Amino acid sequence: CDNQLKRRGGATTARSTDGTSWQLDELTGQRFRGVTATDDGLLGVGDGWVARSDDGEEWITEDAPEGATLRSAAFGGGKVVVVGRNGALYVDQGGGSWFKPFLYLSETLDRVVWGRDLFLALGKNATVLRSSDAMNWLTSPTTSHADLKGAAAGSDGWIMVGSDGAT
């Protein structure tokens, strides 16, 4: 990646100023696997790279921490967290510096979300991690064995979804 300019690099990007009208761009190159809005712009992730953009049109790429295959990114509480294959979980320290919390984890994490002042990272075999500060992570046991793919926080708590109709 070598900090090269990646012009909207990914299979397709869609941009909108109002959420109603969308500008679709079909592109060549590596595809995005996740994107999040931060205080400084946008941060996208993919297979072995992280990309940053001010406008969603032009992206600057950098190598992912430890060359990780990343799947998702979330911003909350002033922190950016990215997750991916083989237990990859990193916290952006700014200036291209990443912190890897001390975790014994080999399961792939497919999604990280922020809500209710909490990060949730979830993935294969019903793996669920939670953190309020992005630095200290605890496991959350579930009764499922599903591959968890998404989560959302509502006024009454959380919902998670995944394979086999897991909720």
Model pLDDT for residues 108-164, shown as the tens digit of each residue: 999 999 999 999 999 999 999 999 999 999 998 888 888 999 999 998 999 989 887
- State pLDDT tens for residues 80-102: 999 999 999 999 988 778 999 98
pTM of the model: 0.87
Return the bridge partners of 2, or none: none
Please say if the pLDDT value at position 27 is more than 70: no
Please say if the pLDDT value at position 30 is more than 90: no
- State pLDDT tens for residues 56-66: 878 888 999 99
Q: Which residue pairs, CB below 8 angstroms and at least 24 apart, start in 48-53?
A: 48/1, 49/1, 50/82, 51/6, 51/9
Specify the higher pLDDT residue, 16 or 90. Answer: 90
